[in-house]
Amino acid sequence: MSVLGHKRWVIERIFLERWDESTQKLSNPLVKISELHAAIIAHNQDHPDKELSPRNPANFMKDFIRSRKSANRNWPPTVLARGYTARQVTGGNSSFEFVPLEPNQTEPFPVDSLTPTPNTTRHLIESVSLPITSRRLGRSDESWLIQVLVRLKVLETHFAIYSPHNIVQLDHLQMGVKLHRTEIDALFLAIADKSEPAEDDVEERGAEAEPEFYEIIVCCEAKGLRDDILVSQVISQIKASFTLTTQDVAIAVAVKAIGESEVHLVEFEAVNRSDVDSLETINVASEAIYQFSPRIPGIGQ
């Protein structure tokens, strides 16, 4: 049995300890890291042939839902039958929480991942400007992917060419922002100009409207070769970004490695602060596949 298969028993153990059969309710849906660690130790004692490492319980659920297909296959049937799935929670010594299924939901983790199509635009990005010393440290993790995106100005390229927004400046603010219910791999601040050329002015004197600048917070999610871009995760990050900043508009961007030195970048539609509380779904605004040349070690490996 796989590691995820073994994790199934730990999840089931925690759930059943909290489940009241008479009331059909959970005593507490939130699972702390310390509680998960104790459950793993207890599981290992009861099943020495199915031991799990207790060293990194903070990433327990993150690793479990990394691939929705395997997560659905390994989710405990006893928990699903009682109408529950789960989601990762970060901060405050929290690991994950059990959440009720939505009406008509039949899978614990509905597939909401995005993949490129044969018609997705392809764009070549130079990587000659990436120092050789950096290449030697190339890895397959998300931190390295974010560093490559920042150093090679991939988001700047995308916003300049493919975005529906008139972005005139983009600045990288921070990496690895860990919040209570989600984690944002990178934050950027975009300056956009919403002014449009005045047609009568253009005809009469060739002038353009005065710039009307406004700020957009941009949250970026990075995914490795074996991870999925998940719409539900993107929505969580959009909501979380508004708790950090004062900007009234946010845009989510997800970048996934899809092949050797090749990534799929998805820009989602902008969300206004006034609409975030009712946000349940989000559409793709633009996307492109970026190929790095020469190849970059670690990307797509």
> Is the per-residue pLDDT at 90 higher than 80?
no
> Is the per-residue pLDDT at 106 higher than 80?
yes
Banded pLDDT at 3 (limits 50, 70, 90): low
32-44 mean pLDDT: 89
Identify whether residues 43 and 172 lie together within a single domain. Answer: no
Cβ-based neighbours of 239, under 8 Å, separated by 6 or more: 276, 279
pLDDT at 113: 63
Which has the closest alpha carbon to 41: 30, 51, 28?
A: 51
Q: Torsions phi, psi of 180, nearest 5?
A: -65, -45
> Is the per-residue pLDDT at 100 higher than 80?
yes
Q: Give domain status of residue 59, yes or no.
A: yes
Identify whether residues 163 and 285 lie together within a single domain. Answer: yes
Identify whether residues 193 and 235 lie together within a single domain. Answer: yes
Identify whether residues 96 and 126 lie together within a single domain. Answer: no
> At which of 65, 100, 135 does a domain end?
100
Identify whether residues 24 and 136 lie together within a single domain. Answer: no
pLDDT at 199: 46
Banded pLDDT at 112 (limits 50, 70, 90): low
CA-to-CA dists, residue 86 to 4, 33, 104, angstroms: 14, 15, 16
Residue 44: Cβ within 10 Å count: 17
Identify whether residues 132 and 43 lie together within a single domain. Answer: no
Identify whether residues 191 and 126 lie together within a single domain. Answer: yes
pLDDT at 209: 67
Identify whether residues 143 and 259 lie together within a single domain. Answer: yes
Q: Give domain status of residue 110, yes or no.
A: no
Identify whether residues 191 and 255 lie together within a single domain. Answer: yes
244-263 mean pLDDT: 95
| pLDDT, tens only, 195-223 | 764 444 445 545 566 788 999 999 999 99
Identify whether residues 94 and 129 lie together within a single domain. Answer: no
Cβ-based neighbours of 2, under 8 Å, separated by 6 or more: 70, 74
Rg (CA), the chain: 22
Q: How far is Cα 80 from Cα 264, in angstroms, rounded to an integer? A: 33
Q: Which residue has the higher pLDDT, 132 or 209?
A: 132
Determine contact, residues 116/287, Cβ cutoff 8 Å. yes
What share of the chain in percent tops pLDDT 70? 91
Q: Residue 39 corresponds to which tokens in the numbers above?
A: 């459950």
Q: How far is Cα 176 from Cα 146, in angstroms, rounded to an integer? A: 10
pLDDT at 293: 96
Q: Give domain status of residue 106, yes or no.
A: no
Q: How far is Cα 29 from Cα 27, in angstroms, rounded to an integer? A: 7
Q: Give domain status of residue 151, yes or no.
A: yes
* 141, β-bridge pairs: none
Tally of structural domains, the chain = 2
> Is the per-residue pLDDT at 33 higher than 70?
yes
Q: How far is Cα 247 from Cα 35, in angstroms, rounded to an integer? A: 37
* SS3 call for 187: strand
Q: Give domain status of residue 298, yes or no.
A: no
pLDDT at 151: 96
Burial class (CB in 10 A: 0-12, 13-18, 19+), 238: buried
* 136, β-bridge pairs: none
pLDDT at 45: 86
* 85, β-bridge pairs: 99
> Is the per-residue pLDDT at 93 higher than 90?
no
pLDDT at 202: 44
Identify whether residues 134 and 281 lie together within a single domain. Answer: yes
> At which of 43, 68, 100 does a domain end?
100
Q: Give domain status of residue 34, yes or no.
A: yes
> At which of 68, 100, 132 does a domain end?
100
Q: Give domain status of residue 279, yes or no.
A: yes
Q: Give domain status of residue 105, yes or no.
A: no
Evaluate if pTM is beyond 0.75.
no
pLDDT at 49: 73
Residue 20: Cβ within 10 Å count: 9
Domain extent, residue 43, equals 3-100
Identify whether residues 171 and 281 lie together within a single domain. Answer: yes
Q: Which residue has the higher pLDDT, 261 or 194?
A: 261
| pLDDT, tens only, 138-196 | 899 999 999 999 999 999 999 999 999 999 999 999 998 877 667 899 999 999 998 76
Q: Which residue has the higher pLDDT, 83 or 52?
A: 83
